[in-house]
Amino acid sequence: MATEQKKTLDKEIVMQAIIDSFKKLNPLTMVKNPVMFIVEVGTIITLILSLAPDAFGASTVSREYNIAVFLILFFTVLFANFAEALAEGRGKAQADTLRKTKSDTIAKLLQKDGYIKEVSSTQLRKGDIVRVDAGDIIPSDGEIIEGLASIDESAITGESAPVIKEAGGDFSSVTGGTRVVSDYIIVKVTTDPGESFLDRMISLVEGASRQKTPNEIALTTLLAVLTLIFLFVIITLVPLATYLNVTLDIATLIALLVCLIPTTIGGLLSAIGIAGMNRVTRFNVLAMSGKAVEAAGDIDTMILDKTGTITFGNRMAAEFIPIEGVSKQEATFAALQSSVKDETPEGRSIVELANSLEANWSEREYRDAEIIEFTAETRMSGLNLTDGTKIRKGAVDAIKKFVTEQNGSLPRDLEDKATCIAKAGGTPLAVAVDDKVFGVIYLKDTVKPGLKERFAELRAMGIKTMMCTGDNPLTAATIAQEAGVDEFIAEAKPEDKIAAIKREQAQGKLVAMTGDGTNDAPALAQADVRLAMNSGTMAAKEAANMIDLDSDPTKLLSVIEIGKQLLITRGALTTFSIANDIAKYFAIIPALFIMALPQLNALNIMNLASPQSAILSALIFNAVIIPLLIPVAMKGAKYRPMSANRLLSRNLFIYGLGGVAVPFIGIKLIDMILSGLL
């Protein structure tokens, strides 16, 4: 993406986040976060007590104590707002850069009479037809209905190399804001103003349309219930204290409530969700909702296409295999002759391989040769030389038929060599000159490097990988073994993909899938996590809940890792937040009742200086821990592929045990500083 990668503590973002932190103090905004809203209410009450200590009855503490509690609570709320504003600020910085890409361009609107009328892109409506020439900016999202052009999509994807788009097929979709580099295209507009891909992207990136995910809503509800429970606990402490002849001041009760409720996770929860969306966006993936990102973290099965996803998709010549009675040099030269005029990637790879084997030839010899193009009917291509020589390469059965028609004999080992190549996961092309077969070309679709290791990581997480391919079972089995996928479906049709997804879902599993063609749309719509390629058709993109701007199908692996990291981060910080309340109990409860019940001194294991020092130390730690955890919320907890049980044990050890130990140390250090000042 063309967005500039901002650092977490970029000066401009931090300054704006500080300003927004104060704006978010509005109670109408704060009420959306029940935990921090309770803290803000407590802040207002302690502010009143700071100005008028006897406002709610006689007070037994000093004005300075009330002011100290007020300031600590105020900064607690401010720090929580800062975490959310910082996460939003990074998204807005990305959105601002995208807005620079979005411009009011001039569109060449085709009239019914065939004439062209220049209008603003904002006047275009769904169904309008526009012409875009070389050098023009595409005015709106649409489908190419005529023409072929090279398109610069760097403004959206950040990729400098232009891509070829043409009418029909799986690469006919174009995005507003991109530029035509060569030729021209006729585009049918598919969106109304304000609904374009770029508009949706800006809205999602800056968080304007971000909705809380089901897990986030559930956790918010849990935190609200815990807050309500502790509120009742504090209320019941008042008569208990009266019975013990202990006077509890209102500021102290508020301090106790704030320390008991899960303020740490309450203050960071929104920031975690926003940062998770931002991480996906920085990977050049547009998630239609936070729910899609979360679902990626819960995936059980991943279905992937073979061509272009697991393999590069370009079959390249790997070897020339001569048949019995033919030398390697003769087979190489025959393959070279069949491809000197072949401009396809396969043809060029054959010539390159022959050149690397030092085959001698001159382009002049083939200047006047008749080119025989490949067709679906003949399944062959080649040359007819001026001396009448016919050179062909193609599918083995097609070459057999060609040689038979030339009254030639078929070699006994041709079928065996072709079968060996198919079993190895390659594609065999037979080569013949007139009535004689010279050998077989081994075309290989190479598995992308590093995928086997990535699939092993997914397996360690308990995620099953399934490859779908139209290849025969022999080729599919070989590629599946080389790539390291768990299962494969050979000779797969669109309905086979849907059936596979439904079969997994019937077992209670969540399924992820990638696709780019119109034929992928039904299966994408059935899957739980649906990643469509930006270069694909509009039907695929409309069926998806995520769009990969780089059109890299393997990006789904990274999206799943980001989704898991989001869930792990939320769980880890929730564990830490609840665990560190334990230390606060040991700090505050003895301090409140130690005068009436000296036996509680046994619980003062931190040996805090005084009741007021203990309360203020716990309160200060409660406030300070929020900004200290912002980097974890923004970047995500460190993630390693492993099983759910191992992951749970690891996080309980690190964040659970750490959540208990860190507050004991922090509160004691703060108490030592305060005892020297008070």
Q: What pLDDT, on a 0 to 100 scale, did the predictor assign at position 44?
A: 94
pLDDT band per the 50, 70, 90 thresholds, residue 197 = low
Long-range CB pairs of 131-134 (<8 Å, 24+ gap) are 131/184, 131/185, 131/186, 131/187, 132/108, 132/180, 132/184, 132/185, 132/186, 132/187, 133/108, 133/180, 133/184, 134/180, 134/181, 134/182, 134/183, 134/184
Question: What's the pLDDT tens digit per position in 485-531?
Answer: 999 988 777 788 899 999 999 998 999 988 777 777 888 889 988 88
3-state secondary structure of 318: strand
Q: What one-letter code names the amino acid at 613?
A: S
Spatial distance between the Cα atoms of 22 and 39, rounded to a whole number of angstroms: 15
Count of Cβ atoms closer than 10 Å to residue 399 Cβ: 25
Using CA atoms in the order 42, 48, 49, 55, what is the torsion angle rounded to 10 degrees?
Answer: -120
Token pair, residue 321, equals: 């295999």
Q: What pLDDT, on a 0 to 100 scale, did the predictor assign at position 595?
A: 65
List CB contacts of 461: < 8 A, sequence separation 6 or more. Answer: 564, 641, 642, 643, 644
Q: What pLDDT, on a 0 to 100 scale, did the predictor assign at position 308?
A: 67
pTM exceeding the 0.85 threshold for the entire prediction: no
Does 378 count as an annotated binding residue?
A: yes
Question: What's the pLDDT tens digit per position in 542-565?
Answer: 888 888 877 777 788 888 888 888
On average, the pLDDT of the chain sits at 83
CA dihedral sign, ordered 140, 144, 147, 151: positive
Q: What pLDDT, on a 0 to 100 scale, did the predictor assign at position 3?
A: 39
Asked if pLDDT for residue 2 goes beyond 50, the answer is no
Does 212 count as an annotated binding residue?
A: no
Q: What is the mean pLDDT of residues 401-424?
A: 87
Asked if pLDDT for residue 462 goes beyond 50, the answer is yes
Counts of helices then strands in the chain (DSSP H, E): 24, 20
List CB contacts of 78: < 8 A, sequence separation 6 or more. Answer: 21, 22, 25
Strand order in the sheet with 546-548: 285-287, 546-548, 529-533, 511-515, 301-305, 464-468, 487-489
Q: What pLDDT, on a 0 to 100 scale, did the predictor assign at position 198?
A: 66
Q: What pLDDT, on a 0 to 100 scale, did the predictor assign at position 100?
A: 60
Spatial distance between the Cα atoms of 338 and 391, rounded to a whole number of angstroms: 6
Q: What pLDDT, on a 0 to 100 scale, did the predictor assign at position 8?
A: 44
* Segment among 216-225, 268-277, 434-443, 458-467 with least mean pLDDT: 268-277
Higher pLDDT, 493 or 227: 227
> Domain 125-192 belongs to what topology?
2.70.150
Q: What pLDDT, on a 0 to 100 scale, did the predictor assign at position 91?
A: 66
* Residues known to be catalytic: 305
Does 516 count as an annotated binding residue?
A: yes
Q: What is the mean pLDDT of residues 169-195?
A: 82
pLDDT band per the 50, 70, 90 thresholds, residue 392 = very high
* Domain 318-439, CATH number (from 3.40.50.2300, 3.40.50.300, 3.40.1110.10, 3.10.28.10): 3.40.1110.10
* Segment among 394-398, 571-575, 606-610 with least mean pLDDT: 606-610
Does 375 count as an annotated binding residue?
A: yes
Spatial distance between the Cα atoms of 87 and 272, rounded to a whole number of angstroms: 8
- Contact at 8 Å (CB) between 429 and 395? yes
Q: What one-letter code names the amino acid at 662?
A: V
* Segment among 143-152, 280-289, 577-586 with least mean pLDDT: 280-289
Q: What pLDDT, on a 0 to 100 scale, did the predictor assign at position 286?
A: 78
Does 487 count as an annotated binding residue?
A: no
Q: What is residue 448's DSSP assignment?
A: P
Spatial distance between the Cα atoms of 435 and 230, rounded to a whole number of angstroms: 91
Token pair, residue 361, equals: 């030839």
Question: What's the pLDDT tens digit per position in 291-324?
Answer: 788 888 888 999 987 776 787 766 788 899 999 8
Does 342 count as an annotated binding residue?
A: yes
Spatial distance between the Cα atoms of 522 and 335, rounded to a whole number of angstroms: 41
Spatial distance between the Cα atoms of 514 and 530, rounded to a whole number of angstroms: 6
- Which helix (H) or strand (E) segment holds residue 459: the answer is helix 451-460
Does 367 count as an annotated binding residue?
A: no
Q: What pLDDT, on a 0 to 100 scale, did the predictor assign at position 45?
A: 93
Asked if pLDDT for residue 182 goes beyond 80, the answer is yes
Q: What is the mean pLDDT of residues 158-173?
A: 71
Classify domain 285-310+448-549 by CATH number: 3.40.50.1000
Question: What's the pLDDT tens digit per position in 53-85?
Answer: 777 765 667 888 889 999 999 999 999 999 888
Asked if pLDDT for residue 594 goes beyond 80, the answer is no
Q: Residue 323: name the closest of 420, 402, 390, 404 by CA.
A: 420
Does 528 count as an annotated binding residue?
A: no
Count of Cβ atoms closer than 10 Å to residue 60 Cβ: 10
Q: What is the mean pLDDT of residues 379-387?
A: 89
Does 380 count as an annotated binding residue?
A: yes
Does 376 count as an annotated binding residue?
A: yes
Question: What's the pLDDT tens digit per position in 255-289?
Answer: 889 988 889 998 888 888 777 777 787 777 877 77
Q: What pLDDT, on a 0 to 100 scale, did the predictor assign at position 102?
A: 58
Q: What is residue 323's DSSP assignment?
A: P
Where do the structural domains in the chain lie, given as residue ranges? 11-94+205-281+565-677, 125-192, 285-310+448-549, 318-439
Does 157 count as an annotated binding residue?
A: no
